[in-house]
């Protein structure tokens, strides 16, 4: 369908070097968008850029917790493309610990990367979209923003914050034709999740038993929701969280 076509759109993807971010960057490019690839690891971004042959790419190493880096990311994008249509606000980490073992430095680290980082990107890049009177921001939340996941206090707190930030920004910027939505994945086969499972070997079985579809998602299965929210197929959609969790949040037993 033409409404899902992203030809000539410009998309910034943070956390693009691996996992969900990488899959979304590839999906946006396949849909026709020129893609700005951002993360702290240049090598991963350059390898990804080599995979994308059919649209323009721009590699911009950035630490999303630093205002100067996020401003540079926007400026480099505008120098290359003169606009920004889509922000995939995806950079994030997890720290898997029981609440009583979580230290202040753990809390601060996850707050800085997951919540402060998404705020800075939305605030700085969103300002450009407001000036343009157009744009779509997709914040990467999680089923952990909707459910209480044991051993994930900091992670769930940040993802709940992202959901509220999404609603507030959607309400403030709708008049400027800037849509702000969230995607809330369940457990996905990524390095982030595998790292958490290595600390708790029983976790995979628990997740599968708690998920009606009986498996974890592949990163590519988060792409469709992101393209929908980025595209003209969702021009009257703002302020929502699109849950992609294999039924986990619907399962009541």
Catalytically active residues are 155
**What sign has the CA pseudo-torsion 168, 171, 174, 176?**
negative
Residues 6+ apart with CB under 8 A from 52: 25, 26, 29, 35
The pair of structure tokens assigned to 117 is 């980082």
CB-based contact 29:12 (threshold 8 Å)? no
Residue 1 DSSP symbol:
-
Residues 6 or more apart whose Cβ sits within 8 Å of residue 244: 183, 184, 185, 186, 217, 221, 222, 225
Exposed / middle / buried, residue 186 (Cβ in 10 Å: 0-12, 13-18, 19+): buried
């Amino acid at each position: 369908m033409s409404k899902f076509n992203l030809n000539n759109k410009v998309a910034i993807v943070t956390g693009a070097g691996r996992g969900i971010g990488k899959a979304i960057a590839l999906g946006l490019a396949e849909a026709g968008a020129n893609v700005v690839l951002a993360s702290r690891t240049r090598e991963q971004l350059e390898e990804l850029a080599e995979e994308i042959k059919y649209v323009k790419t721009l590699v911009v190493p950035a630490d999303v917790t630093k205002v100067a880096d996020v401003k540079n990311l926007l400026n480099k994008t505008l120098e290359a493309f003169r606009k920004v249509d889509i922000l995939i606000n995806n950079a994030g980490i997890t720290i898997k610990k029981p609440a009583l073992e979580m230290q202040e430095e753990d809390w601060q680290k996850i707050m800085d990367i997951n919540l402060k980082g998404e705020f800075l990107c939305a605030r700085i890049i969103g300002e450009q979209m407001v000036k343009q009177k157009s744009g779509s921001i997709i914040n990467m939340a999680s089923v952990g923003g909707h459910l209480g996941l044991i051993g994930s206090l900091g992670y769930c707190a940040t993802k709940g914050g992202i959901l509220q930030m999404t609603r507030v920004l959607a309400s403030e910027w709708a008049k400027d034709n800037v849509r702000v939505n969230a995607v809330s994945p369940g457990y996905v086969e990524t390095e982030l999740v595998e790292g958490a499972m290595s600390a708790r070997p029983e976790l995979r079985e628990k997740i599968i038993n708690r998920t009606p579809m009986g498996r974890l998602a592949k990163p590519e299965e988060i792409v469709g929701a992101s393209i929908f929210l980025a595209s003209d197929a969702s021009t009257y959609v703002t302020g929502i969280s699109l849950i992609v969790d294999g039924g986990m949040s619907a399962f009541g037993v």
